Amino acid sequence: MTDQRFATAVIVGKPNVGKSSLLNALMGQKLALVSDKPQATRAPVIGILTTNDTQLMLVDEPGLLDPTYLLQRAMRAAAVAWVRRADMILYLHPAGGSNPPPLKTLIPELSEITQPIAMVRTKTDRCGKSRKSRSRPRPDVPEFPVCAERLTGLAPLVEWCRSHAPVRPFRYDVDDLSVQPQRFFVTELVREAAFERLGQELPYSLAVEVDEFREGSDPLYIRATLYTERESQKRMVIGKQGRTIRALGSDARRKIEEFLGQRVYLDLWVKTLAKWRSKPHAVARFGFREEIGGQI
Ligand SMILES: Nc1nc2c(ncn2[C@@H]2O[C@H](COP(=O)(O)OP(=O)(O)OP(=O)(O)O)[C@@H](O)[C@H]2O)c(=O)[nH]1
Ligand SMILES: [Mg+2]
């Protein structure tokens, strides 16, 4: 039997560069929420990819940005903590266009970055052939052009991860796809539906919490609450005669049914939790307990 390899690989980069799409493409199934709006990912999403002798814990991070409020500070803290723990870093930047800034400038809180870095150039379908062959800013960092949309360029990237993975036993069962509970993925899919249905700023002010997940029922009964920051936002999420929340709920239900592979009855409620994005208790409750720790 060949030796097993296990490694944690973090997927980092600025907002909207295609991190979550890459996680889904590598996993061969949808785990992470994807949106054309930036800053969609909040808590890191974890995928466990086991191929032959190698198990990779892939961590799809929130985009690295300068935080302006508590939720963003917690998101950044979570992202940086995973980079510290990682065995290797996949640094994403769109292909074509501008060269990526050095990773160090995106994470100044780390005095040095010692892990191997792969420069992943995303969305290759969006740039012409001539622009693909631009000179590389860091010849010492291997570059991998990928297209999550067309699933191209993935195998060499996985092979690079394998070659840098330490020889040690798998940490998870070979059938495991994630370490996060189904409830987490349900909240993410409701948020994805919200990003698609709601106007510019509204999805950012939303948090989703699963209140009930009735195992064994058919259809599976799930009750969840969408929290907005203001009453006026709550009214917009509900919409005229409840039309918006009904449409959002039906989109979300379809996504959840596909994810869980079973019929779902999704019961959505909308409440206001004033300015929750700046409140330590609320930010901790919506996924950042560790990051907020000392503040509550
Ligand atoms: N054309 C094309 N679009 C892509 C590709 N990969 C991602 N996108 C699109 O780019 C947008 C952002 O993708 P995400 O995967 O959500 O990006 P992200 O880096 O996770 O974004 P944040 O979580 O907000 O930081 C979405 O509209 C995706 O559909 C690709 O290979 N080709
Ligand atoms: Mg994302």
From the CA of 37, which ligand is nearest?
A: 1
68-98 residue pLDDT tens: 999 999 999 999 999 999 999 999 999 998 8
What share of the chain has pLDDT > 90, as a percent? 90
Determine the 3-state secondary structure of 272 from DSSP: strand
- Ligand 1 mean position to 60 CA, how many Å? 12
Give pLDDT, residue 130: 54
Average pLDDT score over the chain: 94
What mean pLDDT is predicted for residues 235-256?
Answer: 97
**Ligand 1 atom index nearest CA of 35:** 16
The answer to whether residue 135 scores a pLDDT higher than 80 is no
Q: How far is the CA of 47 from the centre of ligand 2 (A)?
A: 13
The percent of residues above 70 in pLDDT, for the chain, comes to 96
More confident residue, 200 or 180: 180
- The tokens 């979570």 sit on which residue? 78
Write out pLDDT tens, residues 147-172.
999 999 999 999 999 999 999 999 99
58/190 Cα distance (integer angstroms)? 22
pLDDT given for residue 16 in this prediction: 97
Pairwise pLDDT comparison (261 vs 136), residue with the higher score: 261
**For residues 30-57, average pLDDT:** 97
Question: In the predicted model, what is the mean pLDDT of residues 34-46?
Answer: 97
Pocket (CB within 6 angstroms of ligand 1): 15-21, 34-36, 38-41, 62-63, 122-123, 125-126, 147-149
Nearest CA to ligand 1 atom 11: 36
Q: Does residue 134 carry a pLDDT above 60?
A: no
Q: Given ligand 1 and candidates 34, 92, 127, 204, which is best to mutate, with the most ligand atoms within 8 Å of its CB?
A: 34
Handedness of CA 249, 24, 49, 284 (dihedral sign): negative
pLDDT for res 137: 64
Give the model's confidence band at 215: pLDDT under 50 very low, under 70 low, under 90 confident, else very high: confident
Dist CA 253 CA 236 (whole Å): 20
pTM confidence score: 0.96
Q: Give me the CATH code for the 5-164 domain, please.
A: 3.40.50.300
202 Cβ neighbours under 8 A, 6+ residues apart: 194, 228, 233, 236, 237
Ligand 1: distance of its center to the CA of 235 in Å?
Answer: 30
Residue owning the nearest CA to atom 13 of ligand 1? 18
| Enclosing H/E stretch for 101 | none
How many C-beta atoms lie closer than 10 Å to residue 69's C-beta?
11
What's the CATH code, domain 182-295?
A: 3.30.300.20
Per-residue confidence (pLDDT) for residue 245, from 0 to 100:
98
Return the structure tokens found at 81: 């903590």
From CA 250, how far away is CA 173, in angstroms rounded?
Answer: 34
Task: Give domain limits for the chain.
Answer: 5-164, 182-295
